[in-house]
Structure 1
Amino acid sequence: MCGRIAQSETRRYYAKFLDPDLLPREWIGGDTAPQFNLSPGRTALLLHMLNGKLASDYVSWGYRTPNEAAAKRKPWINARVEKALTGRYFRHMFRQGRMIVPGGGWFEWTVEDGKKQPWYISRKTNEPIFMAGLTNFQPYAQQEVEVGFVIVTEDAEGGMVDIHDRRPVVLEPQDALRWMDLDTPVEEAAHIAQSRSVPSSQFQWWRVTRRVNRPDPATNDQHLLEPAEYEQR
């Protein structure tokens, strides 16, 4: 599961960790305000390859089919790596819409004394995370369907299971680049997603304030990521 992320740096910051040689001289558009508590339904930064160059776009987090939209069902926000290639919802994205959702980390929740307790998860090193994602967004194309993205998830392992049994597929820069490259064969992309994720042992996690529980754009400051003592309320 991945239901909230932190995405507080600039496009250039994330891009330089992937490959400085791919960094365009100029990005079209600009950066948005830092997001320390970005929730589904809101617009997030995506990185993808376009004509052999690194590109960026801002796309809504969540995807639903036209029939689901007509029925007003909630969008999907994650795609299980086990079904992403073959499942009817996402297989067309797996072939044409592989991209990366960059960030500093993500949030998960436990229940303590009947209350939802948020945790923040990030790499132990001072590096961003590159989450494998899928989107039906197509640059420079007129699209008649809802446009959105999902984050690819896998089973958690080790101590991270105590926080949640699912986690995003996080890739090292070289694997992230191969994942984004639509010239990469689908079979290779599937192998990357299924076997190349950064292991849980490379992450750290800590309790954060319950203010994170409110997915309100106004609840958005860097103090949300700071370790918090157990809150009696």
Structure 2
Amino acid sequence: MCGRFTLTVTWEELMMRYLIDPESVSPFHMPRYNIAPTQMVTAIIHDGRSNRIGQLQWGLVPSWAKDPSAGSKMINARSETLEEKPAYRMPFYRKRCLIPADGFYEWQKTDAGKQPLRISMRSGRIFSMAGLYDTWITPDGQKLSTCTIITTEPNTLMEPIHNRMPVILRPEDEALWLDRSPALEGSDPGASSALEPLRELLKPYPAEEMQAHPVSTIVNSVKNDTEECIRSITSS
């Protein structure tokens, strides 16, 4: 699964990375070192003309849900069953997003207990996790926009650590994931061959481009959100 991640870059770096006009939105991002479920996360969507940046609550609440309580149980969506699960089917067809990150945490079982690891790109650069979003209308008419991160089988780096990992998209595939062309939003998109390229993106990211480092157990508490969370330590 993917239950914690980091986005420690500056607002300016985000805007440049996703080709967003800095005058189109007021800054809201600050470096974050321990992002957790139910919190607001930065997300990128495409409005049909250009990329847009905003915030979504982590934990998908389907538009048809009776109440928002299901969100805490839908922080991740398995890639293998997206089109089988009612909560994820239509978002996969029509409401795809990017969740920017520069690392994510996973806990590896050891003789001494669970050791938290931070997994990142060897390049140190921002990467995009494949996400889905939806909007739920509250009883008083307010909109609650939420998201989930898609997971897949582990690559060889992740396999000894955990049996799942987030779907990470190559930069050249991000535009396809965000594509909102009519061919991908038809009345019966599940029958459209145009969706096959999207399905092909739901696979493990190359292990040779990633790295994992042990970090302090302070990341175990969501209250801790400082640079110390990402500092590499020597595993005992």
TM over 0.5: same fold? yes
CA RMSD of aligned residues (A): 2.4
Shift in Å, 1:98: 0.2
User: SS of the counterpart of 2:61?
Assistant: coil
Structure 2: gaps of 5 or more residues: 185-193
Equivalent positions of 1:28-47 (< 5 A) are 28-47=25-44
For the residues of structure 1 that align with 2:58 and 2:47, how far apart are their CA atoms? Answer: 20
Equivalent positions of 1:34-113 (< 5 A) are 34-65=31-62, 66-67=65-66, 69=68, 74-113=72-111
Could you say which residue in structure 1 is the equivalent of 2:213? Answer: 206
Does residue 198 of structure 2 align to residue 190 of structure 1?
yes
Could you say which residue in structure 1 is the equivalent of 2:5? Answer: 5
Could you say which residue in structure 2 is the equivalent of 1:157? Answer: 155
TM-score (norm 1): 0.85
- Among 200, 210, 231, the alignment partner of 1:226 is 231
Shift in Å, 1:131: 0.4
For the residues of structure 2 that align with 1:15 and 1:85, how far apart are their CA atoms? Answer: 32
For the residues of structure 1 that align with 2:114 and 2:58, how far apart are their CA atoms? Answer: 23
Structure 1: gaps of 5 or more residues: none
TM-score (norm 2): 0.84
- What is the identity percentage for the equivalent residue pairs of Structure 1 and Structure 2? 24
Equivalent positions of 1:101-180 (< 5 A) are 101-113=99-111, 115-137=113-135, 146-180=144-178
CA distance change for structure 1 residues 145 and 24 in 2, over 3 Å: closer, same or farther? closer
CA distance change for structure 1 residues 150 and 17 in 2, over 3 Å: closer, same or farther? same
For the residues of structure 2 that align with 1:73 and 1:205, how far apart are their CA atoms? Answer: 29
Give the length in aligned residue pairs.
Answer: 221
Shift in Å, 1:145: 6.7
CA deviation map 1:31-67 (0-9, x unaligned): 2321110000100000111131110111110023424
User: SS of the counterpart of 1:178?
Assistant: helix
CA distance change for structure 1 residues 75 and 175 in 2, over 3 Å: closer, same or farther? same
For the residues of structure 2 that align with 1:54 and 1:11, how far apart are their CA atoms? Answer: 15
User: SS of the counterpart of 2:125?
Assistant: coil
For the residues of structure 1 that align with 2:15 and 2:141, how far apart are their CA atoms? Answer: 27
For the residues of structure 1 that align with 2:199 and 2:108, how far apart are their CA atoms? Answer: 31
